[in-house]
Structure 1
Amino acid sequence: MQSNKVSIKQLIHYFKIAVSGKEQDFTSGSIRKAVFMLSIPMILEMLMESIFAIVDIFYVSKVSVNAVATIGLTESVVTLVYALAIGLSMAATAIVARRIGEKDREGASQAATQVIFLGILVAIFISVFGILYPKEILGLMGGEPELIAEGYGYTQVLLGGNVTIMLLFLINAIFRGAGDASIAMWALVLSNGLNIILDPIFIFGLGPIPAFGVEGAAIATTIGRGSAVLFQIGILFYGWGKIKIRLKDLVLKVAVILNLIKVSLGGIGQFLIGTSSWVFLMRIMSEFGSEVLAGYTIAIRVMMFTLMPAWGMSNAAATLVGQNLGAQKPDRAEQSVWKTGKFSAVFMGIVSVFYLIFANEIISWFTPEPEVIKNGALCLRIIAAGYIFYGYGMVIINAFNGAGDTKTPTWINFICFWLFQLPFAYLLAINLDFGPVGVFAAITIAEVFITVLGVIWFKKGFWKSVKV
Structure 2
Amino acid sequence: MDGEKIQAMRQEIVEGNIEKTMLKLAYPLIINNMVQVLYNLTDTFWLGRLGTEELSAPGTAWPLVWFFMSIGMGFATAGFAFVSQYIGARDYEKANRAAGALYSLMMFFAIFVAIFGLLIAPFALKFMKVTPEVYPFALNYIRVIFIGIPFSFTLFAFNFLLRAVGDTKTPVKINMFTVFLNIILDPLLIFGWLGFPRLGVIGAAVATMFSNSVGSLIGGYLLFKGRVGIHLTLENLKPEWDFYARIFRVGLPSSVGFSTDAFGFVVLTRIIYIYGTVAFATYTIGNRLTNFMFAIANGISQAMGTMVGQNVGAEKYERAKKIAERAMLTNLIVLTVGTAIVVAFRAQIFGFFVKDERVLAESAKFVRYFAFSLPFFGIFSAVSNVFQSSGHTKKSMILGMVRLWLLRIPLAYSLGKFMADTTGVWLGMGLSNFLAALIGFAWFLKGSWMKRIIDH
What are the residue-to-residue correspondences of 1:85-164 with 2, within 5 Å?
Answer: 85-164=72-151
Cross-structure match for 2:38: 51
- Give yes or no for contact 2:13–2:311 (8 Å, CA) kept in 1: yes
Structure 2: how far apart are the matches of 1:336 and 1:242? 24
TM-superposed deviation, 1:165: 2.5
TM-superposed deviation, 1:264: 1.0
Pairing partner for 1:414 from 401, 417, 428: 401
3-state secondary structure, aligned to 1:465 = coil
Aligned pair 1:452/2:456, yes or no? no
Q: Residues 244-287 of structure 1: CA distance to partner in whole angstroms, max 9, x if unpaired?
A: 11232121111221111111111112212222211111101111
TM-score, normalised to structure 2's length? 0.94
Change (3 A) 1:359 1:35: same
Q: Which amino acid in structure 1 is aligned with residue 442 of structure 2?
A: I
TM-score, normalised to structure 1's length? 0.91
- Give yes or no for contact 2:411–2:432 (8 Å, CA) kept in 1: no
Q: Which amino acid in structure 2 is aligned with residue 39 of structure 1?
A: A
Structure 2: how far apart are the matches of 1:315 and 1:284? 31
Q: Residues 341-369 of structure 1: CA distance to partner in whole angstroms, max 9, x if unpaired?
A: 11111111110100111111111110000
TM-superposed deviation, 1:93: 1.7
3-state secondary structure, aligned to 2:133 = helix
Change (3 A) 1:169 1:65: same
TM-superposed deviation, 1:377: 4.1
- Give yes or no for contact 1:105–1:242 (8 Å, CA) kept in 2: no
Q: Which amino acid in structure 2 is aligned with residue 455 of structure 1?
A: F
- Give yes or no for contact 1:317–1:336 (8 Å, CA) kept in 2: yes
Q: Report how many residues are paired.
A: 447
Pairing partner for 1:342 from 329, 338, 345: 329
3-state secondary structure, aligned to 1:62 = helix
Pairing partner for 2:190 from 203, 226, 229: 203
- Give yes or no for contact 1:203–1:211 (8 Å, CA) kept in 2: yes
Cross-structure match for 2:178: 191
What are the residue-to-residue correspondences of 1:6-405 with 2, within 5 Å?
Answer: 25-405=12-392
Q: Which amino acid in structure 2 is aligned with residue 442 of structure 1?
A: G
TM-superposed deviation, 1:453: 1.3
CA RMSD of aligned residues (A): 1.8
- Give yes or no for contact 1:303–1:380 (8 Å, CA) kept in 2: no
Structure 1: how far apart are the matches of 2:435 and 2:259? 18
Cross-structure match for 1:467: 453
Pairing partner for 1:436 from 383, 404, 422: 422
Cross-structure match for 1:17: none
Q: Residues 94-118 of structure 1: CA distance to partner in whole angstroms, max 9, x if unpaired?
A: 1111011112222222212221222
Change (3 A) 1:106 1:377: farther
Structure 2: how far apart are the matches of 1:165 and 1:29? 34
**Greater CA drift, 174-183 or 105-114:** 105-114
Structure 2: how far apart are the matches of 1:388 and 1:266? 26
- Give yes or no for contact 1:81–1:162 (8 Å, CA) kept in 2: no
Q: Which amino acid in structure 1 is aligned with residue 371 of structure 2?
A: A
Q: Which amino acid in structure 2 is aligned with residue 142 of structure 1?
A: K
Q: Which amino acid in structure 2 is aligned with residue 146 of structure 1?
A: E
**Greater CA drift, 438-447 or 351-360:** 438-447
Change (3 A) 1:380 1:169: farther
Q: Name stretches of at least 5 consecutive residues in structure 1 with no aligned partner.
A: 1-20
Aligned pair 1:425/2:412, yes or no? yes
Structure 1: how far apart are the matches of 2:11 and 2:347? 43
**Greater CA drift, 400-409 or 455-464:** 455-464
TM-superposed deviation, 1:208: 4.0
